């Protein structure tokens, strides 16, 4: 069965189950015994749903008892009619599916680096996110539709990373009693989301119009050239002027028709919205260096999807591209390079997050190091650079996608590579 047929089948099972029908799925088809209310709508007490299978091709013959369900079929239209006006708003909580601690993320095979200490503490909270779905239709000589999902957090910030899983129509929502919604807040969030949806729509429309414009230019050139040649081929006689005027009118009419046909018409309709409460966990890391210096680091993680929030600049709120470990203040340019506002230097005190030594639990460690068998996998996105200080003696750590790690000391450079789940130093040869 094709993927689209599978999705239809899942939808059909969910739909009829929700409406109180008895659903008996077999290998390919689904038998549905309808309750009396639905039997009237569908015209019979039972439906034997079968799904379009492109592999069967033209040889497939349906019996009158079978009901073909696919987009555009009458059964699908009736199902959509039953959903009309429903499901436009919801409130739900999503369960925590990840363990609370970050420690299981860490890999015992960690690359070596300066000895550091990492400690974590955490707390959890249910955080509301406002999910808005819009249907965008682009109509010109063709038609394209897309479902856009925009997620906004309580602070009014866009959260595109949440949209990926919150647009799923099969979320394992917990049964929640809906609470009151602050309509003003909702109104603000909607406008924020609509602005973002409009931006996405306009971006897509720009791309479409580039193609449409090129096509229209070709058509206009063809028509103009054609009518010009027709006029040029007219012989000089009494009726030529009338014919010329008629040809010009014809050209204008045809051009107007083509412009009208190629005009892009966009409709952005809100489909539904929801307030989804996600279980978030907050972590505080205490980092202690060999020298005894320590720093604090705050992380948050979505316990439903497992996404870890990247560090954000306190000033501008954007995700940071570089983390500077400095005793007092970051060197010039490092945080500023990430923060476009350049208004104040941020007094971070971070420490490096990678380059922890591969050591067994009972191996002796340098003073100041707790037992550590870590490697960050999810916290550090490949391609990002984590600076560890511009202070002399502190190394700079860069990780490349996904298995190469370079640690640059002032006097040397060490390159590590992950192979078969273990990190091995490849330069200089160990």
Partner 1 sequence: MQLFLWGGLLYTMLMDNERLEWLPLSPPKAEETLPAGEPEATCPRCGWPLSGAAAGCSHCGRLPAGPLIPADAPAVELPARTTETPAPPETRSDSRPAVPDGPQWYNLRLQAEQLGASGGFSRLICLDDIFIDQYAYQLETALHVLRDMGGRALLADEVGLGKTIEAGIILKELIERGLIDNALIIVPAPLTRQWQAEMQHKFNETFTVLESLSQLPPPPVAGQPAVLPRGARWIVSLSRARSAQWATRLPAFEYDMLIIDEAHKLKNHRTRAYQFVNRLRKRYVLMLTATPVHNHLLELYNLVTILRPGHLGTRRAFKRTFVAARRTARRPSRRTVYSSQYVPGYLRQSKEKRTQAQKDGWPGLNVLQRFDDYQAFCDHYSGNRKPPAPAARREIESLLTAGYKLVEFESIECPVWPRRRKVDFVCRLKLNAGASTAPLAPRPRQLTPKNTFALRTLLREVMVRNRRSSVGVRLPAREAAVYHLNLSPPERRLYNGVTAYIRQTLALLRQDDAQRQRAGAMRLRLATLQRQLCSTPQAAARGLAALLQREPNPHLADYLTLARSIAEGRKVDAVRVILSQYPGKMLIFTDYLASMRTLDAALTAAGHKTVLFHGGLSSLERFEAVRAFRRSARVMISTRSGGEGHNLQFCRQLINFDLPWNPMRIEQRIGRIHRLGQKETVRIFNLSLTNTIEATILDVLARKIRMFELVIGEVDLILGDLGDERGFEAHIYDMWAGSQSEAEFLQNLTALETLLEQAQQTYTQIRATSDELSDLLGVWR
List the interface residues with partner 1, window 59-88 (CB under 8 A).
61, 63-65, 68-74, 76, 79-80, 83, 86-88
- Binders of partner 1 in range 319-348 (CB under 8 A): none
| Closer residue to partner 1 (CB): 198 or 384 | 198
The reply on whether position 29 binds partner 1 by CB under 8 A is: no
Tokens standing for residue 265: 């018409």
Name the residue nearer to partner 1 (CB basis): 70 or 305. 70
Beta strands in 332-421 (DSSP E): 385-386, 396-400, 404-408, 413-419
Comparing CA positions, the residue from 261, 266, 272, 273 lying closest to residue 212 is: 261
Binds partner 1 by CB under 8 A, chosen from 141, 157, 296, 378:
141
Beta bridge partners of 50: 68
Nearest to partner 1 of 237, 362 (CB atom): 237
Which CB sits closer to partner 1, 11 or 122?
Answer: 11
Decide: 13 and 23 in contact? Cβ < 8 Å. Answer: yes
Using CA atoms, how far apart are residues 74 and 78, in angstroms rounded to an integer?
A: 6
Only segment of 57-65, 102-110, 119-127, 357-365 that touches partner 1 (CB under 8 A): 57-65
Q: How many residues bind partner 1 (CB under 8 A)?
A: 101
Nearest Cα to Cα of residue 122 among 308, 291, 362, 258: 308
The correct pick among 101, 157, 252, 263 for binding partner 1 (CB under 8 A) is 263
Give the separation between CA 139 and CA 204, rounded to whole angstroms: 12
Q: Distance between CA atoms of 82 and 12, rounded to whole angstroms?
A: 13
Interface with partner 1, residue 225, by CB under 8 A: yes
Nearer to partner 1, 58 or 367 (CB): 58
Q: Which of residues 271-310 bind partner 1 (CB under 8 A)?
A: 271-274
Q: Between residues 133 and 399, which has the closer beta carbon with respect to partner 1?
A: 133
Q: Backbone phi, then psi, for 331, in 5-degree steps?
A: -65, 160
Tell whether residue 135 is a contact of partner 1 (CB under 8 A). yes
161/121 Cα distance (integer angstroms): 25
What part of residues 376-395 is at the interface with partner 1 (CB under 8 A)?
none
Collect all residues with Cβ–Cβ distance below 8 Å to 136 and sequence separation of at least 6: 145, 146, 147, 148, 197, 200, 201, 204, 266, 267, 268
CB of residue 88 to partner 1, shortest distance in Å: 7
Task: Determine the Cα–Cα distance for residues 8 and 114; give it in Å rounded to an integer.
Answer: 55
Strand order in the sheet with 422-427: 385-386, 396-400, 404-408, 413-419, 422-427
99 or 179: whose CB is closer to partner 1?
179
Whether 56 and 45 have beta carbons less than 8 Å apart is answered as no
Q: C-alpha dihedral over 184, 189, 190, 194, to 10 degrees? A: 150
**13 vs 109, which CB is nearer to partner 1?**
13
| Chain residues 182-221 in contact with partner 1, contact rule CB under 8 A | 182-184, 186-187, 190, 194, 198, 201-202, 205, 209, 212-213, 216-218, 220-221
Rounded to a whole number of angstroms, the minimum distance from the CB of residue 330 to partner 1 is: 42
Q: Which of residues 85-104 bind partner 1 (CB under 8 A)?
A: 86-92
| C-alpha to C-alpha distance for 115 and 123, rounded to whole angstroms | 27
From candidates 139, 207, 327, 329, binder to partner 1 by CB under 8 A: 139
- Residues 142-181 as x/- pattern, contact with partner 1 by CB under 8 A: xxxxxx-------------------xxxxx-x-xx-x-xx
Cβ proximity to partner 1, 245 vs 412, nearer residue? 245
Secondary structure (3-state) at 136: strand
Identified binder of partner 1 from the candidate list 261, 342, 377, 422, rule CB under 8 A: 261
Stretch that binds partner 1, among 259-267, 331-339, 351-359, 361-369 (CB under 8 A): 259-267
* 342's tokens: 């350049």
Looking at 46, 78, 244, 262, which residue binds partner 1 (CB under 8 A)?
262
40 interacts with partner 1 by CB under 8 A = no
Distance, CA of 397 to CA of 352 (rounded, Å):
8
Tell whether residue 37 is a contact of partner 1 (CB under 8 A).
Answer: no
């Amino acid at each position: 069965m094709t993927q689209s047929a599978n999705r239809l089948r899942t939808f059909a099972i969910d739909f009829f189950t929700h409406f109180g029908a008895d659903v008996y799925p077999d290998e390919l088809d689904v038998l549905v015994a309808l309750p009396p209310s639905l039997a009237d709508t569908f015209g019979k007490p039972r439906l034997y749903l079968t799904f379009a299978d492109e592999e069967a091709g033209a040889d497939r013959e349906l019996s009158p008892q079978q009901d073909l369900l696919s987009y555009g079929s009458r059964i699908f239209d009736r199902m959509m009619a039953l959903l009309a006006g429903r499901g436009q708003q919801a409130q739900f909580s999503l369960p925590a599916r990840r363990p609370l601690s970050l420690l299981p993320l860490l890999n015992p095979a960690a690359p070596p680096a300066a000895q550091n200490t990492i400690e974590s503490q955490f707390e959890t909270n249910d955080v509301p996110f406002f999910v808005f779905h819009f249907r965008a239709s682009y109509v010109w000589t063709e038609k394209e539709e897309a479902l856009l999902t925009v997620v906004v957090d309580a602070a009014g910030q866009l959260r595109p990373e949440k949209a990926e899983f919150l647009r799923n129509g099969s979320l394992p929502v917990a049964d929640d009693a809906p609470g009151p919604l602050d309509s003003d807040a909702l109104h603000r969030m909607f406008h924020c989301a609509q602005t973002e949806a409009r931006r996405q729509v306009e971006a897509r429309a720009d791309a479409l119009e580039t193609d449409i414009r090129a096509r229209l230019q070709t058509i206009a050139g063809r028509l103009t050239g054609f009518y010009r040649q027709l006029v040029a081929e007219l012989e000089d006689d009494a009726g030529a002027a009338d014919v010329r005027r008629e040809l010009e009118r014809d050209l204008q009419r045809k051009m107007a028709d083509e412009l009208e046909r190629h005009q892009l018409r966009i409709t952005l309709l809100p489909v539904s919205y929801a307030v989804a409460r996600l279980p978030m966990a907050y972590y505080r890391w205490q980092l202690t260096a060999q020298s005894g210096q320590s720093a604090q680091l705050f992380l948050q993680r979505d316990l439903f999807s497992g996404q870890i929030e990247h560090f954000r600049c306190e000033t501008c709120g954007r995700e940071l591209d570089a983390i500077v470990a400095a005793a007092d203040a970051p060197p010039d340019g490092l945080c500023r390079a990430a923060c476009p506002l350049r208004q104040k230097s941020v007094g971070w005190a971070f420490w490096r997050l990678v380059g922890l030594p591969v050591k067994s639990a009972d191996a002796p460690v340098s003073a100041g190091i707790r037992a550590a068998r870590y490697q960050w996998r999810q916290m550090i996105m490949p391609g990002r650079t984590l600076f560890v200080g511009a202070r002399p003696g502190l190394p700079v750590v860069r990780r490349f996608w996904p298995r190469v790690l370079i640690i640059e000391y002032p006097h040397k450079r060490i390159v590590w590579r992950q192979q078969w789940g273990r990190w091995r130093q490849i330069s200089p040869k160990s």
